[in-house]
Amino acid sequence: MADIALHQTEAIAGPRGPKPRAAFSRRNIFIYGTLIVVSVYYLLPLYVMVVTSLKGMPEIRLGNVFSPPVEITFEPWVKAWAQACTGLNCDGLSRGFWNSVRITIPSVILSIAIASVNGYALANWRFKGADVFFTILIVGAFIPYQVMIYPIVIILREIGLYGSLAGLVIVHTIFGMPILTLLFRNYFAALPEELFKAARVDGAGFWAIYLRIMLPMSLPIFVVAMILQVTGIWNDFLFGVVYTRPDTYPMTVQLNNIVNSVQGVKEYNVNMAATLITGLVPLVIYFVSGKLFVRGIAAGAVKG
């Protein structure tokens, strides 16, 4: 008996006990080694973008994409911003940048305003049939955009907004609606119901409760929605190319036209500077917002 018991305790206390945490155990080397190698793969494109955008063209032709610049020059950045050509226009990416700003800001505000009020109505003021429309909305999020693109062209043409920034803002509001409405509906539904009931007893109505109670209580979810929308709309290409005209093209479309233009000599450094400038806005948002961005993605993931 004693022998067995001893054997058992030995077995438990032996190799199955808590592992000693040596800094350089084989396990750690494997884990960190793999993670570092994979990190290099993920960071390489960013590094190459930065490095290429700081080189002069002669250096690019001689060297390879990974070598750091011998002589750092910011000229490609200046050129990409102010002189790069798309077709006949040679005023650089700045035009696309400001177009994107003019598209993104109203789209973000409008889509969040509509979706948050709508989510609030769905969570707290359910009416007959609301769930049917909501289900259609969520299922609709899976329909390929290509299916709805042309009917929207016709609708926008009918109301005289085809080709204008306002039309594109409406399109972004429509396609942002499923995920945002879901986001806000779920958030408002999770708030304690007593709050809502107490306000009702005090005689507050639909808008008063929304503005005085729901809105101040849910600032985090508004930030998440903003991150989601700003990056999504800034990165959009398809709607930009379909619903705007060349002089109102958003940045992504203009960038693609600059880099993939078949005319002239390819200036890789200017191209990479332009690419980096376009990616900078979402990157800054990503690095600044940190955990909230992840939350936005997780929310976006629910949409599927």
Choice from 236, 244, 248, 273 touching other proteins (CB under 8 A): 236
Identified binder of other proteins from the candidate list 154, 201, 219, 265, rule CB under 8 A: 154
HSE-up (13 A, CA, CB side) for residue 215 = 13
Separation of alpha carbons 100 and 285, rounded Å: 15
Closest CA to 278 of 246, 245, 250: 250
Total of chain residues touching other proteins, rule CB under 8 A: 89
What is the phi-psi region of residue 21: left when phi exceeds 0, alpha when psi lies from -120 to 50, beta otherwise? Answer: beta
For residue 69, what is the enclosing H or E element?
A: none
Residues whose CB is less than 8 angstroms from the CB of residue 227 and which lie 6 or more positions away in sequence, other chains included = 285, 289, 292, 293, 296
Sign of CA dihedral 243, 245, 246, 251: negative
Nearer CB in complex with other proteins: 105/266: 266
- Figure out which of the listed residues 8, 9, 25, 39 binds other proteins, where binding follows CB under 8 A: 39
Using CA atoms, how far apart are residues 132 and 122, in angstroms rounded to an integer? 11
- Regarding 9 and contact with other proteins (CB under 8 A), the answer is no
Would you count residue 271 as binding other proteins (CB under 8 A)? yes
Least distance to other proteins from the beta carbon of 226, Å?
14
Q: How far is C-alpha 79 from the chain's CA centre?
A: 27
> 114 or 161: whose CB is closer to other proteins?
114
Report the site for other proteins in 71-110 (rule: CB under 8 A).
none
Interface pattern 181-200 for other proteins (x via CB under 8 A): x-------------------
**Tokens 């793999």 belong to which residue?**
34
Selection from 282, 280, 268 nearest residue 48 by Cα: 268
- Which segment (64-72, 74-82, 89-97, 216-224) binds other proteins by CB under 8 A? 64-72
Q: Applying CB under 8 A, which part among 43-51, 91-99, 160-168, 193-201 lies near other proteins?
A: 43-51
Q: Is 65 in the site for other proteins (CB under 8 A)?
A: yes
| Residue number with CB closer to other proteins (43 or 78) | 43
**Between 72 and 298, whose beta carbon lies closer to other proteins?**
298
Interface residue with other proteins among 20, 58, 144, 192 (CB under 8 A) is: 144
86, β-bridge pairs: 89
Toward other proteins, which CB reaches closer, 165 or 175? Answer: 175
Q: Which of these ranges, 72-80, 82-90, 194-202, 264-272, lies near other proteins under the rule CB under 8 A?
A: 264-272
User: Which of residues 80, 108, 177, 273 is near other proteins by CB under 8 A?
Assistant: 177
- Max distance between CA atoms of the chain, in angstroms, equals 93
The alpha carbon of residue 276 and the mean position of all alpha carbons in its chain are separated, in whole angstroms, by: 16
Determine the length of the chain: 304
Task: Please state the closest distance from residue 206 (CB atom) to other proteins, in A.
Answer: 4
Near other proteins by CB under 8 A: residue from 255, 270, 273, 292:
255
**How many CA atoms within 13 Å lie on the side-chain side of 58?**
4
Is residue 24 involved in binding other proteins (CB under 8 A)?
no
Only one of the segments 68-76, 77-85, 90-98, 150-158 lies at the binding site for other proteins (rule: CB under 8 A); that segment is: 150-158
Query: What is the helix, strand, coil percentage profile of the chain, to 5?
Result: 75, 0, 25
